[in-house]
Amino acid sequence: MIPLTVIGGFLGAGKTTLVNHLLATGGKRWGVLVNDFGAINVDAALIAASDGQTMALTNGCVCCNMGDDLGDGLAAMAARIPPPEHVIVEASGVGDPWRIAQMALIEPGFTLEPLVVLVDATALPAQLDDHWTGDTVARQLAFAEIVVITKIDLADAAQLAMVHARIAQLRPQARVIETAHASLPETALGFTPPARPPASRFQADEITHAFPTQRIAADQPFDRDRLRWVLGMLPASVLRLKGVCLLGTDRVLLQYAAERWAFSPAPNGLANGLVAIGTPQMPDLELLFSEAR
Amino acid sequence: MTKNPKVTVFSARRVVTLDPSQPISTHVAVRDGRIIGHGGPEVVGQFGGTLDARFADKVIVPGFIEGHGHATDGLMWRSPYVGYFARTAPDGTRQGGFRSVAEVVGHLKAIEATMPPGKPLVSWGFDPIYFDGPRLTVADLDIIAPDRMVVVAHVSGHILNVNTKVLIAAGFSADSNVDGLVRGQNGQLTGELQGPAVMGRANRATGDGGLLRELDVEGLRDYGRIARRVGVTTSTDLANAMTPANVTAMRTATAEPDFPIRLVPAMRAREYSIEDGLARIAELRKLSTPTLQFGLVKLVVDGSIQGFTARLRWPGYHNGAPNGLWYISPAELEATVKAYHAAGHHLHIHTNGDEASELATEMIGRAIEAHPRADHRHTLQHCQMADGGIFRRMKAFGMCVNLFANHLYYWGDQHARHTMGPSRVRRLDACNTALSRGVPLAIHSDTPVTPLDPRFTMWCAVNRLSATGVVLGEAERITQAQALHAVTLGAAYTLKMDHLIGSIEVGKYADFAVLDDDPLTVDPTAIKDIPVVATVMGGQVFATS
Ligand SMILES: [Zn+2]
Ligand SMILES: [Zn+2]
């Protein structure tokens, strides 16, 4: 399973800076998909140095359709030998990163990392109030799990407080990270950040505590219909649920995010068991899942 | 005058010239593929020509110009067409016209029986909006072929129906719950897939590029066959990636002596960075020939209204659907428009919703302010919901419009009910407002989205009837003369080719549509039914059959 991180955010929020920083410091074989207009700004040399690959996704449509080449790009990445160790999709500045994240749910071979959305500390309120861009930016934040506020060195305290307030209004479930230069370590973008904060303030300006997690036993098979009912009942405080379980007699991989879920054949080498990741408001799920057995 | 073997004079019952100095003639003289004169019978002697009287009882009009078509129409016919509205295939046969799910299933079953095993059956143009009775289900398609992948693409471009074999290959099961997998009341998948994510996955599972094939020479020949049957002598190909393969195919096809149309491809700017795009279009312009003109640059600002992906101003979609997404951010649009405008290029910008039209107009205004330039003829394509205010600004900035008149018929009922509501739908493709505000007007089919046929497009703009016979915005009707102008000289103007084509005037190419009746005087409801007898392109006659 290849971890897949979708990075969204409006034009100028620092997505490409963040991707380049990850490439320069991550020490992994990266695959990068860029779903944006024109040339790829991601540093190709950095990708080549890690033996990885970059692909640009332009609209593959005749005229009036959104492109469906993202899935093609993911499949091509997964088919590479050796495959990338981690794939990043940089969403278009006007795209909806949640749509892209949903594609990863149904794409075999990938496991969806937190949905990361960048916002510009100096520009977010104006973008949200702009009659041409407001709904686009709000929609980008609607399913974000990690919101990275960039360029905080250019904003004063009052501006920053306003940015936090606007984010909290749109997506209270998200963890919010502040940074000056979008130069975050890879670990800051996972559900489980490192125990100790990094040494340098320029690496990551603030790392808050991890998302609460719960383990749910899955040794007993679940009943298909009842599990579907339980998944439909999960509150918004459950951000993710993933793992291998028995669905009747089938051994399957479940991936759940924001009221959407997909089952695919379970890969070898993973033990049965589900992990739920959520906000501090996440209720005890064991009782709920016992209904599905 | 002595006989000149190079001059042919076509006689007709009437020649509708659109030449302001003589609008109606009966004879037109042609030399070296161009018009050398027109008038009465005296033209024969005046130019020493040989009389060609085969159209003596017909009406000659300027060859029709499709200002917004896609040559990929010529590729579609490699897959079976299963639409509600009958269309003409390149070989001249009428296809489709299915009135129920049962008819579609029966047609596909017959085709399936002739196919070698293993090959997926992919069909297109499915349009169940007007069907009574049950919807198409996975069970229907499983009956056609349980062991073969079956795909039915909807005409809207936003939905696929597939059979169980495709669902399994794509990894879709009723256990999953992602956007775009439609379920029935029993919770099972209906086989209907909505949106690019799940549709793309199904297309990959079939291993058939489906309906997104690369343009090739044979496809262009087929497009030419479709075009000449409906009187078209020039067509755009309005979204061309301009890969070396695309360009080679177009140069090869348009150089063939019997290729019946002039082709005007538009470079899709999205395929390139601004810098590379500027270099590419400059290089392409040098390759232009009389039958292949480069120079247009295509931008796309939003999606489609029927797909709920167009950007609308207040009050948004009538049924409450959320606004569409920008395909390009306002800032990038501004930068792109400015760059191509400043470099002297000619933009054709897809804007379906009125917010997209407003934005594109604003950005062209800014570009003009930064780089004043006369006669740029930047054109908004579709521009379906623009009102008087937007058209007034377009006029002020010297812009043109190409309205999607065919939508009135094919989707008008849907727009009245779901997307625009009963009031706003009256200004859908507001041809009269555009003209009365002084915006140069063309009208189009966007083939293969709707069938290529300028007679039908004229009929739509003149009558404004939906498929169920409802008049949408009577005050936006235009006259037959205005409609003919919009598919000839008006379209030529938006392509910067009005000095070459679009009317029957001395010096222009001898491009004609030969009709059985006069579109200016025929009953307005009969415009779409006027038989096309032949086309003439560069003086060469192409029979329609
Ligand atoms: Zn088009
Ligand atoms: Zn279009």
The pLDDT of residue A205 is above 50: no
Judge if A37 and A159 occupy the same domain.
yes
Condensed to tens digits (0 to 9), the pLDDT of residues B42-73 reads: 999 999 999 999 999 999 999 999 999 999 99
Judge if B159 and B225 occupy the same domain.
no
Ligand 1 mean position, distance from CA A53 (Å): 33
pLDDT of A39 reads 47
Task: Examine residue A205 and state whether it is found in any structural domain, yes or no.
Answer: no
Judge if B373 and B495 occupy the same domain.
yes
Judge if B338 and B222 occupy the same domain.
yes
Q: How far is B135 from chain A (nearest CA, A)?
A: 24
CB B504 within 8 A of CB B35: yes
Q: Please list every residue in chain A whose beta carbon sits closer than 8 Å to the beta carbon of residue B449.
A: 62-64
Ligand 1 mean position, distance from CA B136 (Å): 27
Judge if B105 and B15 occupy the same domain.
no
Task: Examine residue A206 and state whether it is found in any structural domain, yes or no.
Answer: no
Interface contact flag, A103 B350, Cβ < 8 Å: no
How much is the pTM?
Answer: 0.91
Taking CA–CA distances from A61, the nearest residue in chain B reads: B212
CB A67 within 8 A of CB A115: no
The residue range of the domain holding A82 is: 2-190
- The CATH number given to whatever domain includes residue B29 is 2.30.40.10
Task: Examine residue B385 and state whether it is found in any structural domain, yes or no.
Answer: yes
Number of domain units in chain A:
2
Ligand 1 mean position, distance from CA A129 (Å): 32
Closest Cβ–Cβ partner in B275, B303, B331 for A11 = B331
Judge if A186 and A46 occupy the same domain.
yes
The pLDDT of residue A199 is above 60: no
Confidence of residue A42 (pLDDT cuts 50, 70, 90): low
How far apart CA B234 and CA B509 sit, in angstroms, is 11
pLDDT of A200 reads 46
Judge if A277 and A185 occupy the same domain.
no
Per the prediction, chain B carries an average pLDDT of 95
Average confidence (pLDDT) over A168-197: 80
Confidence of residue A63 (pLDDT cuts 50, 70, 90): very low
- The CATH number given to whatever domain includes residue A232 is 3.30.1220.10
Instruction: Describe the strand order of the beta sheet including B64-66 as a list of residue ranges.
Output: B64-66, B232-240, B262-268, B296-300, B346-351, B379-382, B400-403, B441-443
Can you give the length of chain A in residues? 293
Judge if B132 and B223 occupy the same domain.
no
Stretch among A24-38, A119-133, B215-229 having the lowest mean pLDDT? A24-38
Number of domain units in chain B:
3
Q: A207 or B268, which is more confident? A: B268
Q: How far is A42 from chain B (nearest CA, A)?
A: 13
Judge if A116 and A260 occupy the same domain.
no
Please return the burial class of B507, using the count of CB atoms within 10 Å of its CB with bins 0-12, 13-18 and 19+: exposed
Ligand in nearest proximity to the CA of B450:
1
pLDDT of B69 reads 97
Judge if A30 and A171 occupy the same domain.
yes
Share of chain B above pLDDT 70, in %: 99
pLDDT of B371 reads 98
The pLDDT of residue A43 is above 70: no
Ligand 1 mean position, distance from CA A67 (Å): 14
Judge if B324 and B346 occupy the same domain.
yes
How far apart CA A265 and CA A245 sit, in angstroms, is 10
Judge if B150 and B269 occupy the same domain.
no
Partners of B532 in the β-ladder: B515
Task: Examine residue A36 and state whether it is found in any structural domain, yes or no.
Answer: yes
State which of B159, B186, B207 marks the end of a domain: B207
Q: How far is A179 from chain B (nearest CA, A)?
A: 24
The pLDDT of residue A195 is above 60: no
- The CATH number given to whatever domain includes residue B403 is 3.20.20.140
ipTM: 0.85
Give the residue from B154, B215, B327, B355 with the most A CB atoms within 10 Å of its CB, the best one to mutate: B327
Environment of ion ligand 2 (residues, CB < 5 A): A 63-64; B 350
Position of tokens 């309120």?
A125
pLDDT of A67 reads 47
Task: Examine residue B187 and state whether it is found in any structural domain, yes or no.
Answer: yes
Judge if A66 and A163 occupy the same domain.
yes
pLDDT of A206 reads 46
Judge if A274 and A136 occupy the same domain.
no
Judge if A166 and A273 occupy the same domain.
no
Interface contact flag, B177 A106, Cβ < 8 Å: no
Task: Examine residue B544 and state whether it is found in any structural domain, yes or no.
Answer: no
Taking CA–CA distances from B157, the nearest residue in chain A reads: A65
Judge if B42 and B86 occupy the same domain.
no
Ligand 2 mean position, distance from CA B403 (Å): 11
Task: Provide the number of CB pairs (under 8 Å) joining chain A to chain B.
Answer: 142
pLDDT of A109 reads 85
The residue range of the domain holding B336 is: 217-537
Judge if B462 and B397 occupy the same domain.
yes
Task: Examine residue A208 and state whether it is found in any structural domain, yes or no.
Answer: no
Task: Examine residue B70 and state whether it is found in any structural domain, yes or no.
Answer: no
Reported as type and span, the H/E element at residue B491 is: helix B489-494
Task: Examine residue A203 and state whether it is found in any structural domain, yes or no.
Answer: no
How far apart CA B133 and CA B138 sit, in angstroms, is 16
The pLDDT of residue A44 is above 90: no
Judge if B222 and B203 occupy the same domain.
no
The pLDDT of residue A69 is above 80: no
Ligand 1 mean position, distance from CA A158 (Å): 47
Interface contact flag, B203 A68, Cβ < 8 Å: yes
CB A77 within 8 A of CB A55: yes
pLDDT of A47 reads 59
Judge if B360 and B453 occupy the same domain.
yes
Task: Examine residue A198 and state whether it is found in any structural domain, yes or no.
Answer: no
Taking CA–CA distances from B207, the nearest residue in chain A reads: A72
- Reading the block at residue B79, the tokens are 């897959």
Judge if B243 and B201 occupy the same domain.
no
Average confidence (pLDDT) over A200-216: 63
Task: Examine residue A64 and state whether it is found in any structural domain, yes or no.
Answer: yes
Task: Examine residue B394 and state whether it is found in any structural domain, yes or no.
Answer: yes
- The CATH number given to whatever domain includes residue A55 is 3.40.50.300
Interface contact flag, B177 A69, Cβ < 8 Å: no
pLDDT of B433 reads 98
pLDDT of B212 reads 62
- The CATH number given to whatever domain includes residue B133 is 3.10.310.70
Q: Please list every residue in chain B whose beta carbon sits closer than 8 Å to the beta carbon of residue A75.
A: 204
Q: Which residue stretches of chain B have pLDDT < 70?
A: 1, 208-212, 545
Residue B193 C-alpha from the chain's centroid: 26
pLDDT of A129 reads 97
The pLDDT of residue A36 is above 70: no
Task: Examine residue A199 and state whether it is found in any structural domain, yes or no.
Answer: no
Judge if A100 and A170 occupy the same domain.
yes
Interface contact flag, A66 B187, Cβ < 8 Å: no
pLDDT of B70 reads 95
Judge if A124 and A64 occupy the same domain.
yes
B279 Cβ under 8 Å from any chain A Cβ: no
